[in-house]
Chains A and B, each alone.
Chain A
Amino acid sequence: MDMRVLILAKEDHQSRAATPPTPQEMAEFQKFNEELVKAGVVIGDGRLYPSSQGKRLRFDGKKRTIIDGPFAETKELVAGYWLWQVRSMDEAMEWLKRAPFDAGTYEIRQIFEMEGM
Chain B
Amino acid sequence: MPEKPGAWLMGTAKHRAIDLVRRRQTLERKEEEIGRAIERAHEGIDLDAAIEEEVGDDLLGLIFMACHPVLSKDARVALTLRVLGGLTTEEIARAFLVPVSTIAQRIVRAKRTLTEAHVRFELPGGQERVARLASVLEVIYLIFNEGYSATAGEDWVRPALCAEALRLGRVLAELVPSEPEVHGLVALMEIQASRLRARIGPSGEPVLLLDQDRARWDRLLIRRGLSALQRAESLGGVMGPYALQAAIAACHARAPAAADTDWSRIVALYDAVAQLVDSPVVELNRAVAVGMAFGPTAGLDLVDELVQEPSLQGYHLLWAVRGDLLRKLGRCEEARIEFERAASLTRNAVERKLLHKRASECAAEGMAG
Contact = CB atoms under 8 A, between A and B. Distances in A.
Interface stretch (B19-27, B65-73, B107-115, B341-349): B19-27
A37 B174 contact: yes
A71 interface: no
B157 A43 contact: no
A40 B168 contact: yes
Contacts of B175: 38
Given A35-B1, A43-B224, A117-B162, A88 B196 contact: no
Contacts of B193: 117
A32 B174 contact: no
Q: Size class of B's contact patch? A: 20 to 34
B167 A117 contact: no
Interface string B1-32: 10001000000000000101111100000000
Contacts of B170: 37, 40
Contacts of A43: 220, 224
A2 to B, nearest CB: 4
B1 A44 contact: no
Nearest to A98: B1
Interface in B163-179: 163, 166-168, 170-171, 174-175
The DSSP consensus for interface residues of chain A is mixed
B157 A116 contact: yes
A116 B171 CA distance: 21
Given A37-B174, A85-B167, A117 B18 contact: no
B366 interface: no
A39 B18 contact: yes
Interface string B197-223: 100100000000000000000101100
Interface in A47-96: 83, 85-88, 90-91, 94-95
Contacts of B220: 43-44, 83
A35 B171 CA distance: 10
Interface residues of A, number: 25
Contact of B171 (A2, A39, A95, A117): A39
Contacts of B224: 43
Contacts of A115: 159
Contacts of B24: 88, 90-91, 94
Contacts of B168: 40
Contacts of B276: none
A1 B160 contact: yes
Interface of B: 1, 5, 18, 20-24, 157, 159-160, 162-163, 166-168, 170-171, 174-175, 193, 196-197, 200, 218, 220-221, 224
Given A88-B24, A115-B159, 13 more contacts: A2-B163, A37-B170, A39-B18, A39-B20, A43-B224, A83-B220, A85-B167, A94-B21, A94-B22, A116-B196, A117-B163, A117-B193, A117-B221
